[in-house]
Structure 1
């Protein structure tokens, strides 16, 4: 399955925010860097903005932890209801037509909610409700987006996959 980069900004921002929260490194400065890295315009972060977006990131985690396609879609629908009030097509900055889920004039928290909820919905549609997950290594809580060719990714990184394989091998030898 081929995924277009333009449609991936929201889903990659969603996973970055979920992981930023669970990593214990959430600070207004790191949040602002994360938002800039994911093309969010005017990402000036205040203390209250940071806490609002952090609460939103915690609402997104169940999307990655869902055990079924139906549960994942239900979780995304809840995010859409809260975060994406309007959808419209735009062609700003000489970009090809693409969707926006919130006007640029809205506050930062509303724009982040809209782009992540919309991005998760578009990705789930393209991936048939699959390909979002949390690392299968028990000691790791890292969320990920599976853009692999076969869509069977279970770990956030090769390191976690290798760690788990070594553990299974040692358990088997005992």
Structure 2
């Protein structure tokens, strides 16, 4: 099963928010990140940026879940807090897609809904797999695995290479 980035924007935004929070992203960079992931009107107040930082901590639980059951519980907890209703929409020339909160909700509500709903859809499509945390010790990044074989263990090739070199050197 192949997953296109365009088909899973909420899951990718969730990963980006978790990774940004882990690196201590500043508000202007967070606004840019939101805009890059298709969030309209991405301007944040300081309080809203703080709320999204807290939300990012909750999003991490989905990526760090040990198994399908734990991931399901984590996604359901996000859906309970982050969504207000589901409806189909076509806006801005886009094909039909789901929204999980009214379009006029504030930025925090919209981001919570997009990420909670996106993670739910991705979890269904990936049969509870393909979300994870980087296997390299010390790396706190998370990822959405859209690879062909679904066996991704690292957030990036760089972390995978670093870990391979580290394992090789420890054997010598």
TM-based fold match above 0.5? yes
Matched, 1:56 2:55: yes
Cα distance in structure 2, aligned partners of 1:4 and 1:142? 20
SS state at 2:76 partner: helix
1:5 shift after superposition: 3.7
**Gapped runs of 5+ residues in structure 2?**
none
Cα distance in structure 2, aligned partners of 1:163 and 1:3? 26
Cα distance in structure 2, aligned partners of 1:157 and 1:42? 30
The TM-score normalised by the length of structure 2 is: 0.96
Partner of 2:10: 10
Cα distance in structure 2, aligned partners of 1:158 and 1:171? 20
1:61 shift after superposition: 0.6
Cα distance in structure 2, aligned partners of 1:83 and 1:32? 19
Tell me if structure 1 keeps the 8 A contact 2:4–2:146: no
1:93 shift after superposition: 2.2
Cα distance in structure 2, aligned partners of 1:64 and 1:165? 23
The answer to which of 60-69 and 88-97 deviates more is: 88-97
- Paired residue total: 172
**Gapped runs of 5+ residues in structure 1?**
none
Which contiguous aligned blocks of 4+ residues in structure 1 show a shift greater than 6 angstroms?
none
1:163 shift after superposition: 1.0
Cα RMSD after superposing both structures: 1.0
Partner of 1:108: 107
Partner of 1:91: 90
Cα distance in structure 2, aligned partners of 1:165 and 1:73? 32
The TM-score normalised by the length of structure 1 is: 0.95
Cα distance in structure 2, aligned partners of 1:81 and 1:145? 22
SS state at 1:89 partner: strand
